[in-house]
Amino acid sequence: MQNMFYLLNLTVSGVKNLKKEVRLDFYKKTIDKNFDPQKYRLKAIYGENGSGKSAIVTAVKIFQDLILNDNYLSESKNQSFLEEIINKETKEFKFNCEYMFHVESQKTIYNYTIYLGKNDNDQYEIKYEKLIQKNGNYPNNNYKTIFECRNGEIENIELEDADKDYVVKKTMNLLSSKSLVYLLIANLKKDAAKTGKDDSYKELIVNIIVSLTFVIMIKVYLAEEDQHELYFLRKRIKESGIDKELIGKGLLELSESINAYSGVDERKIEKSDYKKYEKMVGQLTDFIKIFKSELVSIEIDKRDDGDQYICELILNYGGYRVNKEFESTGIKKLIRLYDCFMAASTTGIVFIDEMDSNLNDVYLCRLIEYFMYYGKGQLCFTTHNLDPMTVLKDNKNSIEFLSSDNNLVQWTTRGNSSPDNCYRNGMIEDSPFNIDATDFIGIFGE
Amino acid sequence: MALQMIFCLEANKQSASDYVYIRDTINRFYKLNNKIKIAPIYMNGKSNYNSTKVAREIKRMTKDYIMGETVVLYCIDTDAYESNAEQAKELDVISSYCHNNGCELIWFCHDIEEVYVGNKVPNNQKVKIANGFRRSKGIENILEDRLLSDGKRKGYSNILIVLDKYLGRK
């Protein structure tokens, strides 16, 4: 499968203690015909406890949920979550990302922005959403607006009048609670995107499908992760009668294939996906065997439940079998991370919070080396483990230090100094680590 | 501009009670931010102030700190400088060394415990006493004047005079 998407940068603010904007760059400033992301695909974010590393990953998850989950802002549990997670002072969540869609030599760069703020009822709602696009083959090209919404109304959308009326009618009173990207897919005009029909609507829908597929490509690992329901959106795209040629057969295949990679750790598996799931569990077995050579197989204990199977994983060690739920914390973590690693090894854009927790240092470094030399996707992770720096320092833009006052400092080569030593000794800008063993005198002990 | 402050302490790392008093002083009186880096060097005895090992460590830390300036502060007990000629001479020599090498001299008369606890403390009790000082928040009860002395007097220090040059007060 061709890697069609590349996340170029993202900027977030207003999550947890991230008050100021933090921008992560995943490539050089300029995109040209010699685009080669090989040395930029990996990024490790380091920072003191509470510096906001997890906040960045959480922001990506919120962005993804806002687009893929139609009821995200309507559900009280999500409102409660946002109440806790959005910065208590700014009360405003801001997310912006720039991503590239490339097929053969054609590169298109999209820039998406979404802001959340509070309404009169003290609930979070979408205050602003914008999608712009430019041709990425030439660095000096200007952006063209695809749509722009402010305070629940469409301010600007590139459509002919009749189509604009249709979109305005279908999205009326909904734009504060749902993203326009989602609403356009949910309200696709049947057959309207066929070749030869209305050009501006067709162009809009193609851009929206590209953007939606990009969002689906992102995989976020947080300590407590909810599963997304992507079936509805995928079904709408399939039912819309969009010509495969119009948006590229590869993109549709990519969108469909994501399901197969969306969760070896999931319990409910569609019967139509079961064969793919079985294959995935086979690959998972090979993966876990690297760490536990005594593992013989991973068996699927499945129960029939209408169109789905309820599945449990049982790890067979020859003489005994262990339900996945009762496995060691480390093995359970590896099983959960497997999907992320699979995505990062192929075409996915993966964010993992605290990748090192419960993972042996040596395993961690070998995994990172694998992604560095053999992976095809993007992998951005937070960690406290300094060992991966020795591997990542040979890459570009791959080590970032986040300070407690939200300044992101990128590692740049300093003669013979190693990034881990500099960091450990407080020699990275804004991360002085003014902590000493004597600080604990009087706290512990008699 | 970022600043690294290297505190050269008489103690060794296993009995680093001096640093408890110094850090409590900084935390009570000064605002710290991410542009200030504070680091100790344990000299393992006052007489090692100009040892190769200490000099090498200062040089390495200064060289590695590329974000800004570095200032070296020697934290020295005056000991019985008034009555013991040898100790008075040693203090003079260290003072000259600091002056000639662009370092600061923070002195405690006659020693750091006398300034912060009010009396001398046997070596084997130093960590225990520092523990109690920290736990009882003893720093809150120290009169500021005792730490702002420009002349040597029993139970006094110039620590705030020196630190005021580099750090902003709370």
- Residue B118: is its pLDDT beyond 90? yes
Task: Give contacts of A438 with chain B, Cβ < 8 Å.
Answer: 16-17, 19-20, 23, 130
Question: Kind of pairing, strands B156-157 and B104-109?
Answer: antiparallel
ipTM of the complex: 0.88
Does the beta-carbon distance from A442 to B39 stay under 8 Å? no
**Pairs from A249-257 (Cβ < 8 Å, separation ≥ 24):** A250/A1, A250/A2, A250/A4, A250/A103, A251/A4, A251/A103, A251/A209, A251/A210, A251/A213, A253/A1, A254/A1, A254/A2, A254/A4, A254/A213, A254/A217, A254/A347, A255/A209, A255/A213, A255/A216, A257/A1
A438: contact with B, CB 8 A cutoff: yes
What is the per-residue pLDDT for A256? 62
Dihedral in degrees, nearest 10, Cα atoms A200, A158, A251, A218: -170
Task: Give contacts of B17 with chain A, Cβ < 8 Å.
Answer: 438, 441
DSSP B98: H
Q: How confident is the model at residue A410 (pLDDT cuts 50, 70, 90)?
A: very high
Shortest distance between the Cα of A446 and any Cα of chain B, in A, equals 8
What is the per-residue pLDDT for A132? 96
- Percent of chain A past pLDDT 90, that is, above it, reads 63
Tell me the β-bridge partners of B7.
B40, B73
Q: Express each pLDDT in A17-71 by its tens digit.
A: 999 999 999 998 888 778 889 899 999 999 998 899 999 999 999 999 999 988 9
Q: Which amino acid is at A222?
A: L
Contacts of B42 (CB under 8 A, 6+ apart): B9, B11, B12, B13, B16
| Segment holding A144, helix H or strand E | strand A144-150
Instruction: Give the closest of A427, A431, A446 to B34, CB-based.
Output: A431
Nearest CA in chain A to B70: A427
A331: contact with B, CB 8 A cutoff: no
What is the per-residue pLDDT for A135? 86
Q: Indicate which of B15, B19, B34 best probes the interface with A, i.e. most A CBs within 10 Å of its own CB.
A: B34
Does the beta-carbon distance from B131 to A417 stay under 8 Å? no
Q: Express each pLDDT in A133-154 by its tens digit.
A: 998 777 778 899 999 999 999 9
B40: contact with A, CB 8 A cutoff: yes
For chains A and B, CB pairs below 8 A equal 63
Q: Which of residues 399-428 of A touch B (CB under 8 A)?
A: 403-405, 407, 414, 417, 422, 425-427
B146: contact with A, CB 8 A cutoff: no
Task: Give contacts of B9 with chain A, Cβ < 8 Å.
Answer: none
Q: Indicate which of A441, A444, A446 best probes the interface with B, i.e. most B CBs within 10 Å of its own CB.
A: A441
What is the per-residue pLDDT for A235? 65
Put the strands of the sheet holding A42-47 in their side by side order: A218-221, A349-352, A378-382, A42-47, A399-402, A408-410
Task: Give contacts of A425 with chain B, Cβ < 8 Å.
Answer: 39, 61, 64
pTM of the model: 0.88
Does the beta-carbon distance from B2 to A431 stay under 8 Å? no
For the segment B55-82, the average pLDDT, to the nearest whole number, is 95
B132: contact with A, CB 8 A cutoff: yes
Does the beta-carbon distance from A422 to B64 stay under 8 Å? yes
- Residue A435: is its pLDDT beyond 50? yes
Does the beta-carbon distance from A405 to B33 stay under 8 Å? yes
For the segment A380-408, the average pLDDT, to the nearest whole number, is 93
Nearest CA in chain B to A428: B67
Q: How confident is the model at residue A262 (pLDDT cuts 50, 70, 90)?
A: low
Does the beta-carbon distance from A432 to B135 stay under 8 Å? no
Domain boundaries defined on chain A: 1-17+52-223+228-261, 25-49+364-446, 267-352
Alpha-carbon distances of A181 from A33, A101, A130, B41, rounded to whole Å:
29, 16, 10, 58
Q: Express each pLDDT in A303-323 by its tens digit.
A: 998 988 999 999 999 999 999
Q: Express each pLDDT in A337-388 by its tens digit.
A: 998 999 999 889 999 999 998 888 999 999 999 999 999 999 999 999 999 9
What b/e sequence results for A151-167 when a residue is b if at least 16 CB atoms lie within 10 Å of its CB, and e otherwise? ebebeebbbeeebbeeb
What is the per-residue pLDDT for B115? 97
Weakest mean pLDDT among A32-46, A113-127, A262-276: A262-276
For the segment B128-139, the average pLDDT, to the nearest whole number, is 93
| Chain centre distance of CA A238 | 23
Round the average pLDDT of chain A to a whole number and report it.
88
- Residue A261: is its pLDDT beyond 50? no
Does the beta-carbon distance from B20 to A438 stay under 8 Å? yes
Is-contact A87 A18, C-beta < 8 A? yes
Shortest distance between the Cα of B103 and any Cα of chain A, in A, equals 21
For the segment A279-294, the average pLDDT, to the nearest whole number, is 92
What is the per-residue pLDDT for B156? 97
Alpha-carbon distances of A65 from A123, A431, A437, rounded to whole Å:
17, 32, 42
Does the beta-carbon distance from A432 to B34 stay under 8 Å? yes
For the segment B65-91, the average pLDDT, to the nearest whole number, is 95
**CA–CA separation, A293 and A33 (whole Å):** 45
